[in-house]
């Protein structure tokens, strides 16, 4: 379905892309010994003459999203042939040790950040047209005439983002690790803020609603680009699928278009994002414009309920994301997420004065809550179970608590049992860890939430993360579910949540003395 009015309002709110020229970079040497990467300085890159099979690695000393420019010169005889270059970009050093030609993963290798180019005229300035997400650049001379050598006289990049650096709200903490986690989380959001809130500037590079939910929360306490959140909400509202379902993501080019992917949970999160936006801005017009879209998501989700008011299992439910874990059964999580969205829908109905919708959603919420505790709670194990195999998982308990099926001291004891259950399926992504931290704070376990957050995101900091990653396994930091780190996203929006938690719940008062 297509709503031209909403689309016009969305595109009118697109932010300006700001450009920043970065000239400073160092030439380094990297060697890998097992899992350890040794880093040594090299002479200034301008002083290195490159022949066939020679290469240099440039370190821009922070993560950037942007466009590379190389000023190329030569020494020796006048160039009598083109120069063939392979240019590799990397967000982390580990990526430079993978051979792109050997990648066999299921994500398209077209995402690999590599250019093979001919430079016909030397000296010349080569400006790469494609936008890349990187800190490191490896420039390799694949072939060159024996009569001359190539020199890189200057390397620079034009970094791009719509985040207004001058508007960034300060964060105060006496805890050094908190300050560092906040810095990296903010940088993650910054580099994902382009025309829309991208999920990752390296791979996918589009607007995903699961990421937007977290990005919007972090934005409110950092850059406060609220019109950008509104623009993204209007895009989803304007470009729903044929049945009115909010799609999982939006493409921008060559024109805005909804993807054919839909997810049970992502569609419902549209309601939550709109509620959060309204609470932050008081923009009632946006709620009035988009409330019918919210109502349609409730209708569609209700079709997935059985006669007991339990969300049907995945064979009927379809794709419900929850976490990147193929072993995870999503039924109980979906039940909790539906309740979570209904609470937001009730608030929005109150905002627009839709009494009938408010009453309907309140009654439906109570039915789902009762069904959750009657049919999905195992009274012997005292944990929520999911699916035909009665699977126990962290995700099920977390979403039942976030959805309000269990509260207070009972929820605290539930989490204690979850932590002590050896068979519980654990979490895979920072995305699911975000919901875990949120649930811990909701049940009053702020100290535990802070400790868990520090350990998990602090683990990425300890692994020299400039930005936070799409996936992180503390036991195997270099793990890739895609078949290679060269397609891993190491700047991923759903990982920026610590900045929201730190600034909302762990923000020291500034010492004015």
Tokens of 79: 């160039």
Phi-psi region of 136 (alpha: psi -120 to 50; beta: other; left: phi over 0): beta
pLDDT value of residue 316: 64
Alpha helices in 36-158 (DSSP H): none
pLDDT value of residue 315: 65
As a whole number of angstroms, the distance between CA 453 and CA 468 comes to: 13
- Kindly tell me if the per-residue pLDDT of 511 is higher than 50: no
Of 408, 453, 423, residue with least CA distance to 435 = 453
The model's pTM: 0.96
Range name among 47-61, 240-254, 345-359, 497-511 with the lowest pLDDT average:
497-511
| pLDDT tens-digit readout, 372-383 | 999 999 999 999
CATH class (in words) of the domain with range 18-161 = mainly beta
The position carrying tokens 């439906």 is 364
Of 22, 356, 359, 265, residue with least CA distance to 160 = 22
**Is residue 249 within 8 Å of 261, Cβ to Cβ?**
yes
- Kindly tell me if the per-residue pLDDT of 513 is higher than 60: no
As a whole number of angstroms, the distance between CA 445 and CA 435 comes to: 14
Confidence band, pLDDT 50/70/90 cuts, at residue 227? very high
| pLDDT tens-digit readout, 311-357 | 999 766 778 999 999 899 999 999 999 999 999 999 999 999 999 99
Phi-psi region of 439 (alpha: psi -120 to 50; beta: other; left: phi over 0): alpha
Burial of 201 by CB count in 10 Å (0-12 exposed, 13-18 middle, 19+ buried)? buried
More confident residue, 18 or 35: 18
Confidence band, pLDDT 50/70/90 cuts, at residue 509? low
- Kindly tell me if the per-residue pLDDT of 512 is higher than 50: no
Q: Where are the domains of the chain?
A: 18-161
pLDDT value of residue 481: 85
């Amino acid at each position: 379905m297509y709503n031209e009015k909403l689309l016009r309002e969305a595109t009118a709110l697109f932010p300006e892309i700001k450009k920043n020229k970065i000239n400073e970079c160092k030439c380094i040497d990297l060697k890998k010994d097992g899992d350890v990467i040794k880093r040594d300085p090299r002479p200034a890159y301008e002083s290195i003459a490159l022949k066939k099979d020679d290469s240099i690695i440039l370190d821009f000393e922070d993560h950037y999203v942007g466009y590379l420019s190389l000023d190329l010169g030569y020494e020796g005889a006048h160039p009598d042939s083109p120069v063939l270059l392979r240019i590799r970009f990397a967000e982390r050093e580990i990526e430079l040790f993978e051979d792109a030609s050997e990648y066999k993963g299921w994500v398209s290798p077209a995402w690999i950040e590599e250019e093979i180019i001919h430079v016909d005229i030397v000296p010349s300035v080569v400006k790469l047209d494609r936008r890349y997400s990187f800190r490191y650049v490896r420039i390799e001379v694949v072939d060159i005439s024996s009569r001359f050598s190539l020199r890189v006289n200057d390397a620079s990049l034009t970094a791009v983002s719509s985040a207004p650096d001058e508007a960034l709200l300060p964060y105060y903490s006496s805890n050094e690790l908190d300050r560092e986690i906040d810095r990296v989380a903010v940088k993650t959001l910054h580099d994902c803020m382009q025309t829309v809130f991208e999920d990752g500037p390296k791979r996918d590079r589009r607007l995903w609603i699961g990421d937007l939910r977290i990005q919007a929360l972090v934005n409110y306490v950092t850059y406060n680009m609220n019109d950008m959140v509104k623009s993204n909400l209007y895009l989803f509202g304007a470009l729903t699928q044929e049945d009115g379902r909010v799609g999982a993501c939006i493409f921008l080019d060559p024109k805005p278009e909804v993807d054919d992917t839909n997810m049970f949970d992502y569609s419902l999160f549209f309601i939550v994002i709109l509620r959060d936006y309204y609470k932050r801005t008081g923009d009632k017009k946006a709620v009035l414009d988009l409330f019918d879209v919210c109502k349609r998501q409730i209708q569609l989700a209700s079709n997935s309920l059985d006669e007991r008011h339990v969300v049907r299992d995945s064979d009927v439910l379809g794709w419900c994301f929850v976490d990147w874990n193929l072993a995870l059964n999503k039924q109980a999580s979906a039940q909790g997420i539906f309740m979570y969205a209904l609470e937001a829908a009730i608030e929005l109905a109150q905002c627009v004065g839709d009494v009938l919708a408010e009453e309907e959603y309140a009654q439906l919420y109570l039915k789902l809550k009762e069904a959750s505790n009657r049919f999905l709670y195992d009274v012997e194990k005292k944990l929520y179970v999911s699916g035909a195999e009665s699977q126990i998982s962290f995700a099920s308990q977390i979403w039942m608590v976030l959805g309000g099926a269990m509260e207070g001291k009972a929820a605290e004891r539930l989490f204690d049992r979850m932590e002590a259950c050896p068979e519980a399926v654990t979490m895979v992504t920072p995305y699911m860890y975000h919901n875990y931290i949120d649930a811990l704070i909701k049940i009053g376990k702020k100290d535990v939430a802070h400790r868990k957050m520090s350990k998990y995101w602090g683990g990425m900091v300890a692994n020299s993360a400039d930005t936070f990653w799409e996936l992180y396994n503390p036991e195997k930091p270099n793990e890739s579910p895609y078949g290679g780190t060269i397609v891993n996203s190491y700047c991923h929006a759903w990982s920026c949540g610590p900045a929201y938690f730190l600034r909302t719940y762990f923000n020291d008062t500034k010492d004015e003395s």
